[in-house]
Amino acid sequence: MNIGAKTVLLTGATGGLGHAIARRLAAAGARIVLSGRRADVLGALAGEIGAEVAAADLSDPAAVRALAAAYTDVDILVANAGVPASGRLQTYDDEQIERALLVNLHSPIILTHALAPHMVRRGCGHIVFMSSLSGKTATAGSSLYSATKYGLRGFGGAMRAELHGTGVGVSTIFPGFIREAGMFADANVKLPFGVGTKTAEQVADATLDAIENNRGEIDVAPVSLKLGTLLGAIAPETAARVTRKSGGAGIAMQFETGQLDKR
């Protein structure tokens, strides 16, 4: 799909990753509708790139449905919104668990359910889901987060198969550790020696590539993390041992500490 002059609904646009995606797609000629909870942050970005603002709290199912109903004419959905959900499950209460499921998994499904039929009728469209490498390999301290991101991968893959031949493409992006923006950066996590990172701009480039070339899945991570993810898929117990020895549990606990401070 040529993204020029197309309308994109981008959720999670208040964060650094959302900002990078918005700027990249706008630079490619798309008209952007920015969605997120903080209208003030959205307004500043909208003024910069000439976008429209559609503030919404995606933990509220009614707000998700209202957002979808207001933008049935969009050509592209980029479901980027997500909340941090790393750390031991016992550190979350019921309300926090529900919020993670609503924002990270429920809202992309509801938006797709509402918007995909309109794209199919027009014979053109694209849907992008922002998952994570945690949606391919589970590690200690990621049970809730991995549940949402594994679910998003499964949903994205199934929707891609269901919509094949309709003119509507579906892509899923799997970022690893992203420096200077996003949940990893916000939690000030210190990685073990040799664990590489990517930038928000590289995730934005992958998003554009996915839309323009109808890519099914794209990993945005150094080769070492991609290989670790592959090992986790084919030999999960071996991968778990390697993760423990390399300090992976320490990364998860840093995420937990950083998030507990902000809950």
**Token couple for 185:** 């950066």
**Residue 187: phi, psi to the nearest 5?**
-85, -5
What is the sign, positive or negative, of the torsion defined by CA atoms of 140, 145, 149, 152? positive
Q: Select which of 71, 92, 145, 150 is catalytic.
A: 145
The CA distances from residue 152 to 23, 24, 148, 238, in Å, are 24, 23, 6, 25
Question: Alpha helices of 187-247 — where are they, by DSSP H?
Answer: 200-213, 223-234, 236-245
Within 10 Å of residue 88's Cβ, how many Cβ atoms? 14
Active site residue 150: no
Within 10 Å of residue 94's Cβ, how many Cβ atoms? 7
Question: Alpha helices of 71-222 — where are they, by DSSP H?
Answer: 94-101, 107-122, 143-162, 182-186, 200-213
**Token couple for 160:** 């891609």
Strand bridging mode 125-130 / 168-175: parallel
C-alpha to C-alpha distance for 39 and 245, rounded to whole angstroms: 44
- The residues annotated with a catalytic role in the active site are 145
